[in-house]
A and B are shown apart, each in its own frame.
Chain A
Amino acid sequence: MRLLLVEDEIDIQTFLRASLEEAGYQVEAAVDGKTAERLAIDGQFDILVVDLGLPDQDGITLILRLRQMGVRAPVLILSARRSVDDRVRGLEQGGDDYLTKPFALAELLARLRNLLKRNSPPGSEATRLRVLDLELDLLRREAFRSGEILQLTQQEFVLLEFLCRNAGRVVTRSMILDKVWGMRIQPDTNVVDVHIYRLRSKVDGKGQQPLIRTMRGVGYVLKDR
C-alpha cells in the first residue's frame, strides 16, 4: 500500500511515518502543498493523509486540486480545528474521512483501513465471523464460544462484532463510541470500560483463553492468535 503523507510539522511527520511504516504502508512524505502535488502526480498512491494547515495552501484546496488532476485515492484529513468546516463535510460525503488532532494512532490506522476497504470493490459480505474459537452468526445475531452459545444483549453483540472485525488490532474508546453507539463524545467516566468488562465476563469464561485484552492508555484488542 502506497501512502502519501502531507504534514508540515516535522515532529508529527516523523512519528507518523514511523508508525505507518510499521503498520505496513510504503510512506512518502511532503511538507507543503507544492511537493505534495508533484509527488501525487508522479507516484500512484493508494491513500493520502493530508493535514489541513499547510504553510503554502489550505489542505482542502490541495485535495480539490488533486481531485481535478485525476487523483482518485481516498484522503484522510487531519485537522487541528475541532469544529468541522462545511467543505470538510462535503469531502466526507464524497468518501473521504477526517480526524481531529490529537488522535490515537490506533484510530488513525483503523480509519485508513476503513477508507481502503470502502474504496475496494465489494466482495461477498460474510454472514459469519470467526476469530479463533469465537464465532458470530451475523444473520441470526448469535455468538458462540467453543460451540457454546453466548447470552448477549443486542448492544453487546454489536460491540463484539466490532471487536471481531478489528481482531488483532487495537481499538480506542472513542472508536467504540463512534461505531457502536454512533457518538463522537469523550466521557470523563469509565462507561466504555464497564461495557467491555461485562462483555468479557460473558466471552472469556473460566478456564478459557482470555480473548479481550486491555491495552492501557490506548484501548482494547481482540486477540486473533
Chain B
Amino acid sequence: MSSRTGKPVIHSAAWRISLWATLAFACGTMLVFVFLHRFVEGDIQRRSDAWLSGEVEVLGDVAERTPKDALYDRVVGEVAELAGKEVPNKDPSETSSNDSVFFLQTGSNGLLKLWVGTGSGEPNLKAVQTTTIIPDHPNDLRVQGFAVPFRVASTRLDDGTYIYLGLSERDELRVLRSLRLRFFLLWLLIVLLGFSIVFYTTRRMLRHVRQITEAASRIGHSDLNARVPTTKRNDEVGHLALTLNRMLDRIENSIHQLHTITDSLAHDLRSPLTAIRGKLEMSLSATHGEKAEPIVSAIEELDRLTDFLNKSLDVAEAKADALRLDRNEIDLDELLRIMIDLYEPSMSEKGLQIRLQSGSPLIIEADAALIHRMIANLFDNELKHLPSACTVNMMLGVEDGFASLILEDDGPGFDPEVLTHLFERRVKGRESNGHGLGLAFVDAVVRAHGGSVAACNRETRGARISVTLPLAANQQAKSPPVASHDVG
C-alpha cells in the first residue's frame, strides 16, 4: 500500500519506461520528417527550375526573333509579363503587382536594357552582375531589398546580351514553413498521445506487479494460505503470479508435511509415554517407603523426556518457520512481574537478586503459551547458571517500534566457545546440565514472532541477552517513558 501513496509518480518504473519510449518515438519520427522535408524541398526546387529554364528559353527565342526596333521592348516585355502571370501571387499584402517574378535584359554595355518587374530593377542588375550565373542553369540570387532570395535562370543571346528570369523562392519557403508547422503540431499531439498510452499501459501492468509484491510480503510468516492475485492475461506478469503461487503451493505442501510428521511423531511418542506414566503412577500409589524411590525418579525422568520432546518439536517447527501461532494481546510488563513473582523465591534461595526496570504496560500480539515458556526459559537459564550473590537486571522498553527486553547479569558470562552459536540446538556450556535447548527455544519463538535475540558478554562482567518483539498495532503510536521500578 505504501508504494501507492508514498512514492511520487516520477519515481515509478512506469514513468521512466514511458519517458524513454516516448523519447525514442519522438526522435524517430523527427528523423523521418527531416528526410521527408528535404525530399519535398528538392522536388519543389526541381519543378521551379524546370519552369525557369523553359521560360527563359522561350524568352530568349522571342528576344532573338523580335526585330530590334522601337516595339522590341514592348513585345518582349509583354511576353515576360505573361510568363510572370503564370506564377500565382500568393502574397496577400500585394494585390496588383506581382513581385515574385522579374525579367531582366542587360545590354552589351552592361546597363539595364529591359526590365519587367517591381521596382526600378537596379538592385537586381547589381546582384546579377556581382554574382556569377552560369547560363542555362538556375542559381540562387540574393537581391538587396528582398528578404527572400530569387532563383534565376539566364541565357545568352547571339548579340552578346544576357536575359535573366528570376522567380522568388518565397512561395517555396512558405509551403515548407506551413509543412513544418503542421508537422510539428501533429507530432506534438502524437508524442503526447503516445506517452499517455505507454504510461497508462505500463502503469496498469506494473500495478499488478505491485499487487503481487504486496500480497507476497503479506504471506511471509504463518499466513501460507494466501495467494498472490492472478489475471486471465497470458503475459509475463500473469506467469510471474502463477509461478509464485505454484511456489507457495509447494512451500505450503512441505510445511504441511512437516506438520504431519511432527504431529505423528508427537503422537507416536506421546501415546507410549502416557501409558508408561500412568502405569508408573498406579504402581506408585500401591508402593510405600523406599521401594517408591525408583518409581518416583522414573516419573521425573519421563517428565524431563516429555519436556525435551516438546521443546525439540517447537524448535524444529520454529526453525522451519512453521510454528503455529495463536496471537493474542499480552502485556509484557505484567507478564514479567508475574514471572518475577514466580521465580523470586527460588532466586533469593540461591542468593540471587532480580530487578525490573519498566515504566508502563507494553502490549505485544503474540502466542501467550509460547511467550510464557520463552520467558520462563530465560529465567531458568539465569537461575541455573548464575553463582550466588549475583544480580539480574531486566529492562523493558520500546526501541525503534519494537518491545525491547534486556537481561543483564554480573555472573561469569557465556563461555566464549559457545557464544557464537549460542542459539543453536544442543549447544551448552561445559558445566551446564540442561539439554541445550533453552536458548535455541528462546531464539525460535522470538523469530517466529518476527523479533530478534542477541547475546553477548558485558564489558565489565556478566552476560547480556537482548530480545526484541514487534509491538501490537495499537501500541506503536505511543512509546511509554521508561521509569525505574525495582522488584525483589
Contacts and interface: CB of A to CB of B under 8 A. Distances in A.
A219 to B, nearest CB: 11
Contacts of B302: 102
A194 B349 contact: yes
B466 to A, nearest CB: 22
Contacts of B279: 11, 15
A123 interface: no
B76 to A, nearest CB: 113
Given A81-B263, A84-B326, A101-B270, A195 B384 contact: no
Interface in A61-118: 80-84, 89, 100-105
* Majority secondary structure of chain B interface residues (helix, strand, loop or mixed): helix
A189 interface: yes
Interface string B371-402: 01100100110011000000000000000000
A219 B51 CA distance: 124
A91 B341 CA distance: 32
Contacts of A12: 271, 274-275, 278
B158 to A, nearest CB: 118
B95 interface: no
Interface in A163-198: 177, 181-191, 194-195, 198
Nearest to A85: B324
A183 B297 CA distance: 25
Contacts of A218: 281, 284, 299
Given A80-B270, A217-B297, A183 B376 contact: yes
Interface stretch (B35-43, B123-131, B304-312, B452-460): B304-312
A131 B464 CA distance: 47
B278 A216 contact: no
Nearest to B382: A189
Nearest to B304: A188
Contact of B369 (A184, A188, A190): A184
A155 B339 CA distance: 12
Given A19-B282, A182-B338, A195-B345, A82 B274 contact: no
A62 to B, nearest CB: 17
Contact of A188 (B263, B341, B434): B434
Contacts of A81: 263, 266-267
A80 B280 CA distance: 19
B373 A185 contact: yes
Interface in B328-375: 338, 341-343, 345-346, 349, 369, 372-373
A182 B267 CA distance: 26
B447 to A, nearest CB: 17
Contacts of B346: 189-191, 194
Contacts of A56: none
A104 B297 CA distance: 14
A19 B281 contact: yes
A101 B380 contact: no
B277 interface: yes
Contacts of B338: 181-183
Nearest to B278: A15
Contacts of B273: 101-102
Contacts of A155: 341
A204 interface: no
B401 to A, nearest CB: 27
Contacts of A100: 270
B292 interface: yes
B486 interface: no
Q: Which of B273, B280, B306, B345 has the most CB of A within 10 A?
A: B345
A9 B275 contact: yes
Contacts of B278: 12, 15-16, 19, 102, 105
Nearest to A183: B372
A107 B124 CA distance: 125
B376 A187 contact: yes
A198 B343 CA distance: 13
A155 to B, nearest CB: 6
B296 interface: yes
Nearest to A105: B281
Contacts of A217: 280-281, 284, 292, 295-300
Contacts of A216: 292-293, 296
Interface string B193-211: 0000000000000000000
A101 B275 CA distance: 9
Contact of A198 (B282, B284, B345): B345
B465 interface: no
A216 B271 CA distance: 23
Contact of B275 (A15, A82, A83, A186): A15
A18 interface: yes
B143 interface: no
B380 A187 contact: yes
Contact of B345 (A9, A102, A184, A194): A194
A12 B380 CA distance: 32
A16 B274 CA distance: 10
Contacts of A105: 278, 281-282
A200 B148 CA distance: 121
Nearest to B372: A183
Interface of B: 263, 266-267, 270-282, 284, 292-293, 295-300, 302-304, 306-307, 310, 313-314, 324, 326, 338, 341-343, 345-346, 349, 369, 372-373, 376, 379-380, 383-384, 434
29 contacts: A9-B275, A11-B272, A11-B275, A12-B278, A80-B263, A80-B270, A82-B310, A102-B270, A102-B302, A103-B277, A105-B278, A155-B341, A182-B338, A183-B342, A183-B372, A183-B376, A185-B372, A187-B379, A188-B384, A189-B379, A189-B383, A190-B346, A191-B345, A191-B346, A194-B345, A194-B349, A216-B293, A217-B295, A218-B284
Interface of A: 9, 11-12, 15-16, 18-19, 53, 80-84, 89, 100-105, 155, 177, 181-191, 194-195, 198, 216-218
Given A80-B266, A103-B274, 19 more contacts: A9-B271, A11-B272, A11-B275, A19-B281, A53-B267, A81-B263, A101-B270, A101-B271, A102-B302, A102-B306, A177-B342, A186-B303, A187-B380, A188-B380, A190-B346, A216-B292, A216-B293, A217-B280, A218-B299
